[in-house]
Amino acid sequence: MSQTERTFIAVKPDGVQRGLVSQILSRFEKRGYKLVGIKMLNASEELLTQHYAEHVGKPFFPKMVSFMMSGPIVATVWEGKDVVKQGRTILGATNPLSSAPGTIRGDFGIDLGRNVCHGSDSVESAEREINLWFKSEELTSWESNQSKWIYE
């Protein structure tokens, strides 16, 4: 398989509290993407400040970090062809009210501040975010028996 990439997808505290983790993970599995890292954690302020570095100093930043620290997060890494772009499509628009039905945010969200998931927005962001949230030994390389049925 050529041009395989990885992306970082996090189920935010609202998604965890609402019991949506398995439904969110299943959307990526059903599409054919391979899970190579997963963990549940309570994110520290330091980790979140690094993760959302481009938003430091913006008016919404303190509220966003506080929300992300309000409960557990399920952090995942997915692998596959065009997974960064396709992952964003699976999630839907950042604002759930602008998300199409059938997307995660379109099906499960209403408010921008409770949009259920985070997904990397570029290959470069994915690499940075994966390295923030996971140690290399926490990621698994494995060959899926289904890959011949998903990829030419």
Determine the residue type at 87. G
CA distance 87 to 94: 12
CA distance 132 to 123: 14
Determine the residue type at 82. D
Of the candidates 33, 5, 60, 40, which has an alpha carbon nearest to the alpha carbon of residue 134?
40
Determine if residue 140 is labeled as part of a ligand binding site: no
Determine if residue 115 is labeled as part of a ligand binding site: yes
Determine if residue 27 is labeled as part of a ligand binding site: no
Determine if residue 131 is labeled as part of a ligand binding site: no
Alpha helices by DSSP H, listed for 32-77, are 45-51, 61-68
User: How is residue 152 annotated by DSSP?
Assistant: -
Determine if residue 94 is labeled as part of a ligand binding site: yes
Residues forming the active site: 118
Determine if residue 95 is labeled as part of a ligand binding site: no
In contact, 136 and 36? CB cutoff 8 Å: no
Binding residues for ATP: 12, 60, 88, 94, 105, 115
**Known binding residues:** 12, 60, 88, 94, 105, 115
